[in-house]
Structure 1
Amino acid sequence: MPPFSDYIVYVDESGDHSLVSINQQNPVFVLSFCIFEKAAYYEVVVPAVQKLKFEFWGHDCAVLHSHEIRKARGDFNILLNANTRASFIDRLNGVIGALPMTIIAAAIDKQRHVKRYSDPMNPYEIALKFCMERLQRWLQDQSQADHLTHVIVERRGDAEDQKLELEFRRVADGRNQVGRMPNLDIRFMTKKHNSTGLQIADLTAHPIARHVIKSNQPNRAYDLIEPKFRRGPAGQVAGYGLKVFP
């Protein structure tokens, strides 16, 4: 077994990957890979998020979830109070903006995808391959490609998880534009584990989707994470940190 890398990756999605019934208001599927240096993760990232939770709930049981935050549901019913909501969003933005991480994401425009291809592939599988290719190139740049890097994904159900793991293994075995990736391993985690990394990945995926759908609209959450995208030699995000397809 190769030595462990200095990095860990947390993954979440926004939107669904169904091509049968496409939501006209949200026709984009996004997969977001959030990469953390392990030392920074346990020394800086986790304490910052835990501190936020203790400030607003007095405990750290609340699981940050972008949909529930927007709808003020569950633990986030405290956000029905306008002053509390403004204070929470300001603090959350401050935490997210300061987090040391690198983002690699892929966005699949399902409407264009269906129109362009007679037999369109599953958006999740396409996005996964794009993100894994860019992650591997990023790890090569960090001289970490010969070290084992874990990719942590939220558990969704046995059938879906098995299908995702099979596709992950296929890509890692060489079905990609980079080559074999024996250094990447997938792990599944449930919400009950209250993973800080998975919660941050969730908070990045939705703003990316909104940016792709309506890039001309103000998007404060996207503006906060935009500097964290992997970049090309000339500083470009498109194709390097964010792949939009087709």
Structure 2
Amino acid sequence: MAEFSDYIVYVDESGDHSLTSIDADFPVFSLSFCIVKKTDYIGSVVPSVQALKFKYWGHDSVVLHEHEIRKSKGDFTFLLTDKVVREAFYEDLNQMMVDAPITIVASVIDKLKLKAKYLTPRNPYELALHFCLERLLMFLNDNGQTGKRVHVVFECRGKVEDAELELAFRRIVDGAMHWGWVKRDFSVMEFEPKFAKKSVNSTGLQLADLTARPIAIKTLRPTQPNRAYDVILTKMGQIKEFP
């Protein structure tokens, strides 16, 4: 068995990957890989997220979820009642992301353009996954991780969905899926997908969750002010828009 990588990767998505029913208001699918060095994760990332939770809730069982934060739902209803506290929370949240020693690799698929360009388009999730894995491979090689075993953590979506995703993941890293561009030699790394339930309260998955939608929104509405994206951009290793 290969030596464990110094890095771990957390993944989240925004939008759905259906090509048969496309939301006209959100016709994109984005996938975000949050890459973090394990020593930084233990020493800096987790403590800063825990500190934010203790400051605003007094406990750390809260799950940071972009949708609920944006809609001020669930544990985030307090954002509706006090403007001063709301502004302070967003300032602290943004600063936490600014300070986080992470690298973001992302892919955005415009599903309408994809269907218009190809007679039999590929599954948007598989396309985005392939693009992100390619760039992850380059990042790991550039950072001395060749030959090591890296875990890529996804949030559980359901038994069938997780099985399909794992199959697509393994086909990509086994070299069975390549579509005309330069083939990457994934065999120089050992990639291992892992699936975690939201209930495990993974700090890494929560950080990834905060990144996927702002990246999608930047693609949809590039001129719209997007403070979250401005922060994410400072962490961006690669972003691929397709087609």
Q: Same fold (TM over 0.5)?
A: yes
Q: C-alpha distance in 2, partners of 1:98/1:150?
A: 23
Q: C-alpha distance in 2, partners of 1:157/1:79?
A: 31
Question: 2:85: which partner in 1?
Answer: 84
Q: Which amino acid aligns with 2:224?
A: Q
Q: Are residues 1:179 and 2:176 paired?
A: no
Question: 1:236: which partner in 2?
Answer: none
How far the C-alpha of 1:134 sits from its partner, in A, is 0.7
Q: Contact 2:137 / 2:186 at 8 angstroms: preserved in 1? A: no
Q: Which amino acid aligns with 1:141?
A: D
Q: Are residues 1:63 and 2:63 paired?
A: yes
The two structures have a TM-score, normalised by structure 2, of 0.95
Q: C-alpha distance in 1, partners of 2:191/2:105?
A: 15
1:171-225: CA deviation from partner (whole Å, max 9, x where unpaired): 0101342023451110000000000000000001111001111111111100001
Q: Which amino acid aligns with 1:180?
A: F
Q: C-alpha distance in 2, partners of 1:24/1:61?
A: 36
Q: Which amino acid aligns with 1:243?
A: K
Q: Say which SS state the counterpart of residue 120 (structure 2) adopts.
A: coil
Alignment of 1:115-130 (within 5 A): 115-130=116-131
Question: 2:154: which partner in 1?
Answer: 153
Question: 1:166: which partner in 2?
Answer: 167
Question: 1:244: which partner in 2?
Answer: 241
Q: C-alpha distance in 2, partners of 1:162/1:48?
A: 33
1:221-245: CA deviation from partner (whole Å, max 9, x where unpaired): 0000101111xxxxxxxxxx00000
The alignment yields a C-alpha RMSD, in angstroms, of 0.9
1:98-136: CA deviation from partner (whole Å, max 9, x where unpaired): 100111000000110111111111100000000001100
Q: C-alpha distance in 1, partners of 2:86/2:30?
A: 26
How far the C-alpha of 1:67 sits from its partner, in A, is 0.4
How far the C-alpha of 1:27 sits from its partner, in A, is 1.0
Q: C-alpha distance in 1, partners of 2:88/2:186?
A: 47
Q: Say which SS state the counterpart of residue 103 (structure 1) adopts.
A: strand
Q: C-alpha distance in 1, partners of 2:135/2:146?
A: 12
Q: C-alpha distance in 2, partners of 1:102/1:220?
A: 18
Q: Say which SS state the counterpart of residue 212 (structure 2) adopts.
A: helix
Q: Which amino acid aligns with 2:231?
A: L
How far the C-alpha of 1:145 sits from its partner, in A, is 2.1
Alignment of 1:1-246 (within 5 A): 1-81=1-81, 82-174=83-175, 175-176=177-178, 177-181=183-187, 182-230=189-237, 241-246=238-243
1:69-89: CA deviation from partner (whole Å, max 9, x where unpaired): 011111111111222211111
1:134-171: CA deviation from partner (whole Å, max 9, x where unpaired): 10011111120211000000000000000000000000
- Of all paired residues, the percent bearing the same amino acid is 53
Q: Contact 2:29 / 2:124 at 8 angstroms: preserved in 1? A: yes
Structure 1: state its 5+ residue gaps. Answer: 231-240
Q: C-alpha distance in 1, partners of 2:206/2:30?
A: 15
Q: Contact 2:6 / 2:37 at 8 angstroms: preserved in 1? A: yes
